[in-house]
Structure 1
Amino acid sequence: MVIGVIDTGITPTHPSFQSFNEVSAPPVNWFDNCSFGQDVCNNKLIGAMAFQNGNNPSPLDDIGHGTHCASTAGGSPVYDAGILGQARGTAVRTAPRAHISAYKVLYGGQGWDYDFLVGIDQAVRDGVDVLSMSLSSGAKNFLDSGIAVSSFYAITKGIVSCACAMNEGPTTKDPIRWKTGQQAKVTVCCANLASSTDRRIKVTVELGNGMEIDGESSYQPDIHNATNLELVFPRATGRDSDLQCSSLNPIDVKGKIVLCMVGPISNMEKGELVKAAGGEVMIVMNNIKYGLTMFADPHVLPAAHISNFDARRLVSYVQTRNPTASIVFKDTQFGASPAPCIAFFSGRGPSQYNGGIIKPDIVAPGVNILAAWPVEVGPNPTGNTTIQRVNITNQRKQNRKKT
């Protein structure tokens, strides 16, 4: 089977895309388009092309999303994988013996329907068996959606077309009815639209009043000084603009635990700002929208991402006299409950534009998924540089523009 991945490109040198004994030669009818050259492509990665306004630039992944999704769908097993020493083990993919052909139609996370159409058309001509499309046109009707038109064409050729129901929950604006299976007419809420698993990379925040709050973070150094530190919340200073830690001046955070609300900048960027300002620890707090969805990000300093419920408890404690806290790292744990849980960003349906057909039909794991990444991430507390080109991220569809 050949999986055609329509996304941001691919990183061909990653171990996830190296061939192994159980991967057969490409199908005899495979059209064989590999812009990287046959010295790079192999029995696993059998094709790679890029489409941009009529041109064919390099299909090399520029942001990591395509690499991550391709490895999740059909990457080779990667032994001794992990993220900053956590979640260690063999990374086994959905279809490890499948072939992968990558089609880059997104650049910096943005793309145009014209390129979507051309990329999917090329995948159909090449002879893929499955289309994995972690993107969406967002159009209100079928004829205005490049994904809808091209996926319908693929279905007529017997190709299974899997695309996302978009991330802007709770409803889904995706109109397409036929995305997986011509007879079943199933829209797949793929791994990029997401439920959690029972794995947690756990961090416990122990407050000075004895209360404990559990959160997550991939960065868990063996040696740290996060014990009985003062808690500081920008909101408590009256500077509401600093609520999300986008600017900490003139607040004194040196040697303290800094509380930051989720917001426009990423959690990792917040951590970099807190560290640069001298903060010792960061606690990322969910708002109501984020609810219970927590991310085990590869931070640059000791950190914990906590739920909205626990955030409200923590804010109440911060308003007491001399609030303090300690951070206790508890490594990777399994059997967490409740699981699976639907992520806050998932398009949970029903669709607004498809005439009342209830969509999506299926949900799959897509929160804190460990998979390939083009570059090393975060600091490395283990000293082992062989396990860093993976990332534990949340497979959300990429943005797009419609012509």
Structure 2
Amino acid sequence: MSFFLSLLFFSFLSLSPQCYGEERKVRIIYMGKHKSGSSALSLPSHLAMLKKVLPSGVSSAETLVYSYGRSKSFKGFAARLTDEEAAKFSEMDDVVSVLPNTKLKLHTTRSWDFLGLTQNRTVGLPAERDVVVGLLDTGIWPESVSFSDFGISSAPSKWKGKCETGGTNFTCNNKIIGARYYNSENEFDPSDVKSPRDTEGHGTHTSSTAAGRPVWDASYFGLAKGVARGAVPEARIAMYKVCWLTGCWSADILAAFDDAIADGVDIISVSLGSDFPLQYFEDPIAIGSFHAMEKGILTSNSAGNSGPFPITVSNYAPWSLTVAASSTDRKFVTKVALGNGNTYIGLSINNFNMGQSVFPLIYGGQAVNVSAGSNELISSYCIDGFMNTEKVEGRLVLCNSVLGEETILNAKGLGIIMSSDDFPDVAFTFMYPALIVSTQDAKEILDYIMSTSNPIAVIEVSDEWLDALAPTVVSFSSRGPNPITPDILKPDLTAPGVDILAAWSPAASPTGFPEDERRVDFNIISGTSMSCPHVSGAAAYVKSVHPTWSPAAIKSALMTTAMPMDPRKNEDAEFAYGSGQINPVQAINPGLVFDASEKDYITFLCKQGYNTTTLRLVTGDNSTICTGIGVGKVWDLNYPSFSLSVPDGGYAYGSFYRTVTNVGLPNSTYQAIVFSPENLKISVQPSILTFSQVGEKKSFVVKVNGGKLFQQPIISACITWFDGKHSVRTPLIVYTTILPFDMSDVDSDALTSLRPNLPLARKKLRIGGN
């Protein structure tokens, strides 16, 4: 009988989908920009388009998920479609692209002082309260003291947003002036709350990092104690909840961009991204940030947490700002003291005080669960279900991996010493006393365990140490080069993203594990998700001083004033840190800026191979034309950095045309200072630029000659324009590669499997579903 049941089951699976109705999935129909004079809301036209494609009996209104267009910036819609229906839309002349509804992933007491943006520099700025920072994230906890509106007036008159409560007790105030939430798949975890309220912590953390109000004596169980604040404490916050415990859907992200643009935000902060490269108009963040740029809004993006592997940087569109993660001069270390008097130091954020006592210590390989078919090797990695829990209970355990935290907790162990060389520069929080030591130190600890019949140890409370090497780019931060446009340097710059203390949602545990019953108002976490809001806040700071500056001008100011970083401490050099670490204080007075408009980016896209028909849809302008521009190098985009990719074995020749705008002194003369290694010849013509007024523009050409190159990872150089007061620094890199990059044949799952302990990193670094 079982044979016939199996046959019936597999016969059912093999039936044509049409027998039961093909599955409908949410697809995004992106149609480019609204043409001038067209209606802001295109709901009737979208329903009409659906009606033409859908079979009779299927309701257009019921399949429609979102109708984009409220912002009058871009148009399109999201709807539940079959593969066949989606294919019909992709053939339509007025459709730029049809995108699947993919799930994207989520990628401070000390950090702002470390950057030089001390509290006295951010208080009382006249225009700060008119700046609105919009965040696409997991929501926000409005009751947090970081979002108090004490002394803040009502929202600026330009604000058009609203506060969606979701029928819960969520409320906005004069600090959080807008909140919306989106879930196109209607997919919820039992812990999710259907409102803008943050039940995960991530969005509350990023919001307070960018624009949180000062909170004195903030700490994580006494660690990192100090004043927690954002870059612009008086600026307003608008939260667009697009991420849930299950992830962040692309249709929701586009809807949030549409609303944020229409609502009147000034800066958009997006600490999330795709795991894999996408072409610009197949990427919802690139699409949304392009149309935000058209409306004068800069988007700040996280670079991703897939480092130190190369070509892993995400959010690489030239019209947005891509942020890597670096350290501050504070690090958290934890000691384990053994019974033989030896002490070993590891990284963790450990607030558990075990007192002066010592406790039994066991090696995971000594707790073999024979009944489960385990052996010493398997149990040494502390894998759940393969350990003898009676031997673990009441003991500290040494494990050969970083995956045993839940295992030891479930077995009633007292604490864990984990062995790994994969996380040398970031501390994690745990549910009980724990630390990560090097594999060499773990070997010595194991030697001690094996040398005595009664091994004992104690894990001490964490200390805060001065990190004299800071800033360095952290190992998990994604690296360049740019996977889509090798001649645009990405990431753009770096900002603190390691061990950042900021506000937290009391609905979430500090570790992210449901077994952890502790609750905190402030938490310490790491990731490019944390570095991104630092730059978003810095951009809002510049915007508050220069409210009329374009997104490109603000971006240029942040990049050209960034503090140079030491390539001896960052072997990937500019592929790790871009222009360097942000310097918000200098960014408000950069001297010169590299400005760019929509027209400049359209020329760039022409050279990327986009055709006139597509770009007319994107721009909503029938006068857009690519004829005569030609596909090729994009060296002439007015970008505040220079990147020359050379086919392996080819010649390193390049010519870059740039224009700078004087935003410094009315009468000033700038001299070009070139730093270059001997094997690279760089000339700047003219090498002197003289300005007679603010707003005046001057152009120059940079020519590069590096001869024939073979297997050259990166050659670093830079050009600095100096007038005696302002230093306008732009990095220049040359490297070899196989061009063009083609990632389509790369097995992303295989690549992921090569990255050590990535599942733990994703959980601990608050990425990807946590």
TM-score by length of 2: 0.45
1:390 aligns with 2:544: no
Partner of 2:642: none
* 1:24-53 CA-partner distances (Å, limit 9, x unpaired): 532211013111399821121111001122
CA deviations on 1:226-268 (whole Å, 9 max, x unpaired) are: 52632323388544444144345315123322123555x5xxx
User: Secondary structure at 1:205's aligned position in 2?
Assistant: strand
Q: Tell me the residue number matched to 2:426.
A: 294
- The alpha carbon displacement at 1:218 in A equals 3.5
* Residues 254 and 131 of structure 1, relative CA distance in 2, 3 Å threshold: same
Are the structure 2 counterparts of residues 31 and 374 from structure 1 closer, same or farther at C-alpha, using a change threshold of 3 Å? same
- 1:334 deviates by 3.8
| 2:337 matches 1:199 | no
Determine the C-alpha separation between the residues in 1 that align with 2:347 and 2:254.
Answer: 39
**Which has the higher mean CA deviation after the structures are superposed, 305-314 or 197-206?**
305-314
**Conserved? CA contact 2:313–2:479, under 8 Å:** no
Corresponding residue for 1:33? 162
- Judged with a 3 Å threshold, the aligned counterparts in structure 2 of structure 1 residues 222 and 359 are, in CA distance, closer, same or farther, namely same
Q: Is the 8 A contact 1:14 1:372 kept in 2?
A: yes
1:283 maps to amino acid: I
Q: Larger relative CO (CA 8 A, sep 6+): 1 or 2?
A: 1
Contact 2:382–2:407 at 8 Å: present in 1 too?
no
CA distance in 2, matches of 1:273, 1:54: 33
2:153 & 2:443 partners in 1: Cα distance? 54
Choose which of 403, 414, 422 in structure 2 pairs with 1:280: 414
Matched, 1:15 2:384: no
Q: Relative to structure 1, is the Cα distance of residues 27 and 330 closer, same or farther in structure 2, using a 3 angstrom cutoff?
A: same
Partner of 2:260: helix, strand, or coil? Answer: helix
CA contact (8 A) 2:359 2:395 kept: no
3-state secondary structure, aligned to 1:69: helix
Q: What is the CA-CA distance between 1:66 and the residue it aligns to?
A: 1.1
Query: Which consecutive residues of structure 1, in runs of 5 or more, have no partner in the other structure?
Result: 181-185, 380-385
2:350–2:461 CA contact under 8 A, matched in 1 = no
1:103-135 CA distance string (max 9 Å, x none): 011121512211111101111111111111001
Q: Render the CA deviation track for 1:182-229: whole Å, top value 9, x for unaligned.
A: xxxx4222xxxx223222333212234544221244443445365263
Secondary structure of the corresponding residue to residue 66 of structure 1: helix
The question of whether the paired residues in 2 share the 8 Å contact of 1:35 and 1:49 is answered with yes
Alpha-carbon distance, 1:157 to partner: 1.2
The secondary structure found in structure 2 opposite 1:120 is: helix
Q: C-alpha distance in 2, partners of 1:64/1:303? A: 22
Q: 1:301 to 1:131 in 2, by over 3 A?
A: same
Equivalent in 31, 52, 59 of residue 183 of structure 2: 52
From 232, 243, 257, give the equivalent of 2:396: 257
Tell me: CA distance 1:285–1:341, structure 2 relative to 1, closer, same or farther (3 Å).
farther
1:117 aligns with 2:117: no
CA deviation profile, 1:318-374 (whole Å, cap 9, x unmatched): 554558353353544241343233333210222222234221121111122111111
SS of residue matched to 1:103: strand
Change in CA separation of 1:341 and 1:210 when aligned onto 2, cut-off 3 Å: farther
Secondary structure of 1:187's partner?
A: strand
Task: Determine if the alignment matches structure 1 residue 134 to structure 2 residue 271.
Answer: yes
How many residues are treated as equivalent by the alignment? 376
Counterpart in the other structure of 1:3: 133
Which deviates more from structure 2 when the two are superposed, residues 215-224 or residues 11-20?
A: 215-224
CA drift of 1:301 comes to 2.5
How many angstroms apart in 1 are the aligned matches of 2:397 and 2:154? 54
- Aligned pairs for 1:363-378 (under 5 A) are 363-375=494-506, 377=509
The corresponding residue for 1:187 is: 322
Cα deviation for residue 272 of structure 1 reads 4.9
SS where residue 122 of structure 1 aligns?
helix
CA distance in 2, matches of 1:135, 1:318: 43
The question of whether the paired residues in 2 share the 8 Å contact of 1:292 and 1:309 is answered with no
Give, in angstroms, the shift of residue 307 of structure 1: 4.1
1:187 counterpart letter in structure 2:
T
In the alignment, the residues of structure 2 paired with residue 307 and residue 92 of structure 1 have an alpha-carbon distance, to the nearest angstrom, of: 34
Is 2:318 the counterpart of 1:178?
yes
| Counterpart check, 1:82 vs 2:255 | no
Select 2:242's aligned residue among 105, 117, 130.
105
Contact map agreement 1:84 1:219 (CA 8 A) in 2: no
What is the Cα deviation at residue 94 of structure 1? 2.3
Closer, same or farther: CA 152–319 of 1 in aligned 2, 3 Å: farther
User: What residue identity is the alignment partner of 2:138?
Assistant: T
Q: Distance in 1 between matches of 2:198 and 2:170?
A: 18
- 162-171 vs 201-210, greater mean Cα deviation: 201-210
Partner Cα separation in structure 1 for residue 431 and residue 316 of structure 2: 41
Distance 1:124 1:310 in 2: 53
Say whether residues 1:160 and 2:298 are aligned partners: yes
Cα 1:166/1:179, change in 2 over 3 Å: farther
Query: Is contact 2:426–2:526 with CA below 8 Å preserved after alignment?
Result: no
1:30 aligned partner, one-letter code = W
Q: 1:167 to 1:6 in 2, by over 3 A?
A: same
SS in 2 for 1:188: strand
> Residue 351 of structure 1: which of 479, 482, 493 is its match?
482
Contact 1:9/1:60 (<8 A) preserved: yes
C-alpha change, 1:302 and 1:291, in structure 2 (3 Å) is closer
Call closer, same or farther: CA 1:175–1:3 in 2, change over 3 Å: closer
Is 1:338 paired with 2:469? Answer: yes
Task: Decide which structure has the larger Cα Rg and report it.
Answer: 2
Q: Taking structure 1 as reference, are residues 92 and 373 closer, same or farther at Cα in structure 2, changes over 3 Å only?
A: same
Task: Check whether the contact 2:360–2:395 (CA below 8 A) recurs between aligned residues.
Answer: yes
Q: In structure 2, what residue type is equivalent to 1:215?
A: G
User: 2:19 maps to what in 1?
Assistant: none
Contact map agreement 2:448 2:455 (CA 8 A) in 1: no
Q: Which amino acid aligns with 2:306?
A: E
Determine the C-alpha separation between the residues in 2 that align with 1:67 and 1:378. 12
Amino acid in the other structure paired with 1:49 = R
Amino acid in structure 1 at the alignment position of 2:458: I
Is residue 416 of structure 2 the alignment partner of residue 304 of structure 1? no
* Whole-angstrom CA distance in 2 between matches of 1:167 and 1:275: 27
Q: Tell me how far apart the structure 2 counterparts of residues 328 and 223 of structure 1 sit (CA, whole Å).
A: 7
The residue matched to 2:259 in structure 1 has which SS?
helix
In 2, are the aligned partners of 1:140 and 1:173 still within 8 Å (CA)?
no
Match of 1:95 among 223, 232, 253: 232
Structure 2 residues not aligned, in runs of 5+: 1-130, 187-192, 369-374, 512-517, 530-766
What is the identity, as a one-letter code, of the residue corresponding to 2:351? Q
SS class of match (2:269)? strand
Find 1:63's aligned residue among 200, 213, 216: 200
Partner AA of 1:352 in structure 2: P
SS of equivalent residue, structure 2 residue 196 = coil
Q: Which amino acid aligns with 1:176?
A: Y
